[in-house]
Structure 1
């Protein structure tokens, strides 16, 4: 499958978005064989870096060189709904040639197309079965696939090509628990060079090393994600101690500078008294005055320099401490009283799913679980009024907002502030910016175009747009909200939802997150409808 010489080398790499936002400047990176987990805060440039490696983006300077054949599975994989499975797998031409040969055609072009891939259909079917897609076959179209099934099909296509280098960007997004296990098996058995961007702890426990992208540079940590976290915790403890020490040094240098200035002022007063008393000759007084001025100047210069050095050390120490701000939002207008009707579905039959019955009252927090393709997204879209039910009625009794998986409610060519303004047209620009600051978009960050945001930043902007909307939403529908979020951003989301006083319906495969958000009821959706299940 792989060559021992497979590598990725980025040399003096520069990249900036069209609005001038710089992502990389003089960036260097070298990756060799093995499984590498690329981690970092949202907005650090992880997905951008993978796109640059894959040639999906062109650098504004420097170069990217990949040795060996490479494959790339992007974060937001979109398949042509009319495409057949064999086309997505990249084997349609070979299959057509094989079938022509089987019919007795002897055109040399058919044999050239097949090459050594005489068993391509068997390998393809085995790969689909391995990833839980055996029911698809090779001739079906992809229009009926769920988001998770599309990801697995895209992965199957890459694995069939057997590249030397494989780039995966958040591959577990939209995958249910069983599908994640299949992907884990595929990654664990990978023998080439793998770079994976992910927030999935289970996946990151399978890598050989962690590359931490922070402030435009990469630091390497041998081992899995849990080992990386242990080392990082020790480093952060040391960095925080260094900040406290540097702060103490700055205070000491300030005191010594003030004391030096007081001492100089005292000497100056004494010199003036001697001069006024005329007890010494003028020439001697002048000489003493000049020496005192020189001494005072040197003393001030020394202490000023020491203070500047202390401040530089403090700045350096502060930069070593990771910024992990939390979203804290108190929105009283979203509150739902206990027992108040929120939404009710009476014998509703979904367009692409079973019959369902649901009654939510008060500030309930519903964890909606189920396998890929069970209809969770269809259910949320039906509740939101974006998709009419095939039968039955949906009764909505409070204002609600829906946050889809693809976060396509933001206009890419508008700034964050302008996007939020669309949902709250009565709010002034100053009011919008003050509210956005609480979602960590402070100052000029609110002017950044939505199209340049990372996955996590885009989610935070979309969440801000919904929570700050008018009228205030008393029911939030979230579809796989932790997709594309790093660990810090998941904590930020959890904190934001803690202060949300309305009702929640969250569809997710991220069980730890569903627990942390305080789910009050767990519902599983399958072909029989909604069933209450015990907390996972």
Structure 2
């Protein structure tokens, strides 16, 4: 089959002058493609350009067929009914009018040949585990994860020729993820997915690695990509060692040659001073020596320059992707210290906590549960952002909450300005030094937050939280790995493993939770908060 999607000389620069893509040429054919790359490499921007959400600075995007796009942050009007969100409200209303005996021609025109649209819509919802929602409820009644699946259901009903998915498993619980995996595995057309979800990337047919504005293709799924990359990197590191050894050799030879030339020059000057030979002979010999010395020096300098080029090329081939380095403030909490007390707490939505729940010392709590169970509501209530219906939540130590939507940041301010809001007593130099550890160096720290990628926004929000005054002794994180590449997840895991305060993490990412040394697993289910085990958490019914 012919190529379905082609990008030619595609370039894009943000209004503040920050370049993202410059002359990218790439073509996507039928099959499932995993688009990978470090945070900020331009993956989401590329999908937006293909979907028409952004206009390229230069170049073209040509698509043979219809495009369906699921953005990283799904926002739906909460007042919409489910059938409106699915795009079938008009056909459904026409069908109901006809069934009620209204034979107006416009109803038949609206329905067309789609007489089973309602059944197909309910089937699509059922396939994604949303059969309980129904078509007449409003979007405001569904959870964030359910709204992602609802948007996906709308795309499945449309059956576009090209499907673009940007971090589709963000905010999805284990049940919903498995529904999405099944939909991806059975997709018949062109599919491009940006994700850090390893299980999802195991379902693709090929990997497109976006790095330094260029795409490199790897056949097979993510495991095959990692194996191929490991072989490439081993060869690249070997070439870099050889090139470095050659460069050092050329530097030594240049130094040796210059020493020899210096000795010859001193000898020639001595002969000139002593006038042991006729002046015309000594002059000719001096000119010849200078000419020979010049050629000798140029030869060695050229060899050194060539060795430098080979070393630079070999070094560039070795990946040294920056990872965030999180220096957490000293926040040790004694084992017996009372950190948080929840008493007969009833949040505005979700599980009621009967009796007393204490968090003591440096406990590490994993908060799990299905989409819509009320995890985010509970965290926001503890953080003081939402008032409880009844009961109380009292923190006994400084607390910081990193929300799922990262809405602690002002998109119109720069990264530096955002962090300064949380630490008004910190100097500009201190803030910039800390931001450098989060990969915001130099001009990157002066970027407006609105122009950042999802992973970059997370880094900026985490930096703001860590620099906040006073330093947090209780950290609450809501789906912290949603927008991070795998390298950043590893670095975050290392940082949190060394954190000496108390920790509450709401996440659907079980491998991440298990890496944190969780001491208590709490499950929100059917209005009840109860203790569970990692084994039970990993096997949802």
Alignment partner, residue 523 of structure 1: 522
Q: 2:280 aligned with 1:283, yes or no?
A: yes
Asked if 1 retains the 8 angstrom alpha-carbon contact of 2:328 and 2:495, the reply is no
Alignment partner, residue 328 of structure 1: 325
How far did residue 358 of structure 1 move? 2.6
How far did residue 104 of structure 1 move? 3.1
Alignment partner, residue 501 of structure 2: 502
Structure 2: give runs of 5+ residues left out of the alignment: 536-541
Match of 1:245 among 242, 246, 253: 242
SS of 1:473's equivalent? coil
CA distance in 2, matches of 1:245, 1:452: 41
Q: 2:23 aligned with 1:63, yes or no?
A: no
How far did residue 332 of structure 1 move? 4.2
CA distance in 2, matches of 1:329, 1:56: 34
| TM-score normalised by structure 2 residue count | 0.96
Q: 2:344 aligned with 1:347, yes or no?
A: yes
CA distance in 2, matches of 1:43, 1:312: 28
Could you report, residue by residue, the CA deviation over 1:491-533 in whole angstroms, capped at 9, with x for unpaired residues?
A: 1211221232211100000000001122122111112522222
Could you report, residue by residue, the CA deviation over 1:166-221 in whole angstroms, capped at 9, with x for unpaired residues?
A: 00111111111111111011111110000010111111111000000000000000
SS of 1:439's equivalent? coil
Check 1:326–1:499 CA distance in 2 against 1; reply closer, same or farther (3 A cut): farther
CA distance in 2, matches of 1:288, 1:378: 90
CA distance in 1, matches of 2:357, 2:249: 65
| TM-score normalised by structure 1 residue count | 0.97
CA distance in 2, matches of 1:61, 1:327: 32
CA distance in 2, matches of 1:15, 1:464: 27
How far did residue 428 of structure 1 move? 0.7
RMSD: 1.4
Alignment partner, residue 212 of structure 1: 209
SS of 1:121's equivalent? helix
CA distance in 2, matches of 1:325, 1:502: 26
Asked if 2 retains the 8 angstrom alpha-carbon contact of 1:12 and 1:63, the reply is yes
Alignment partner, residue 357 of structure 2: 358
Alignment partner, residue 307 of structure 1: 304
CA distance in 2, matches of 1:90, 1:330: 48
Alignment partner, residue 402 of structure 1: 401
Asked if 1 retains the 8 angstrom alpha-carbon contact of 2:3 and 2:27, the reply is no
Alignment partner, residue 539 of structure 2: none
Could you report, residue by residue, the CA deviation over 1:292-317 in whole angstroms, capped at 9, with x for unpaired residues?
A: 11111111111112222222222222
Alignment partner, residue 423 of structure 1: 422
Asked if 1 retains the 8 angstrom alpha-carbon contact of 2:350 and 2:527, the reply is no
Identify the range of structure 1 (324-333 vs 345-354) with the bigger mean alpha-carbon deviation.
324-333
Match of 1:265 among 252, 262, 265: 262
Between the two proteins, the alignment pairs up a number of residues equal to 533
Could you report, residue by residue, the CA deviation over 1:330-367 in whole angstroms, capped at 9, with x for unpaired residues?
A: 44442222211111101211210121253111111111
Structure 1: give runs of 5+ residues left out of the alignment: none
How far did residue 8 of structure 1 move? 1.1
CA distance in 1, matches of 2:516, 2:199: 20
Which runs of structure 2 are paired with 1:67-78 in the superposition (5 Å)?
67-78=64-75
CA distance in 2, matches of 1:535, 1:139: 37
SS of 1:143's equivalent? helix
How far did residue 403 of structure 1 move? 0.8
How far did residue 100 of structure 1 move? 2.2
CA distance in 2, matches of 1:298, 1:382: 78
Which runs of structure 2 are paired with 1:470-489 in the superposition (5 Å)?
470-489=469-488
Identify the range of structure 1 (271-280 vs 300-309) with the bigger mean alpha-carbon deviation.
271-280
How far did residue 110 of structure 1 move? 2.1
Identify the range of structure 1 (281-290 vs 153-162) with the bigger mean alpha-carbon deviation.
281-290
Asked if 1 retains the 8 angstrom alpha-carbon contact of 2:65 and 2:161, the reply is yes
Check 1:414–1:118 CA distance in 2 against 1; reply closer, same or farther (3 A cut): same
How far did residue 6 of structure 1 move? 6.0
CA distance in 1, matches of 2:246, 2:82: 65
How far did residue 92 of structure 1 move? 0.8
Asked if 1 retains the 8 angstrom alpha-carbon contact of 2:39 and 2:453, the reply is yes
Match of 2:162 among 158, 161, 165: 165
Alignment partner, residue 138 of structure 1: 135
Match of 2:95 among 94, 98, 113: 98
CA distance in 1, matches of 2:8, 2:291: 51
Q: 2:368 aligned with 1:369, yes or no?
A: yes
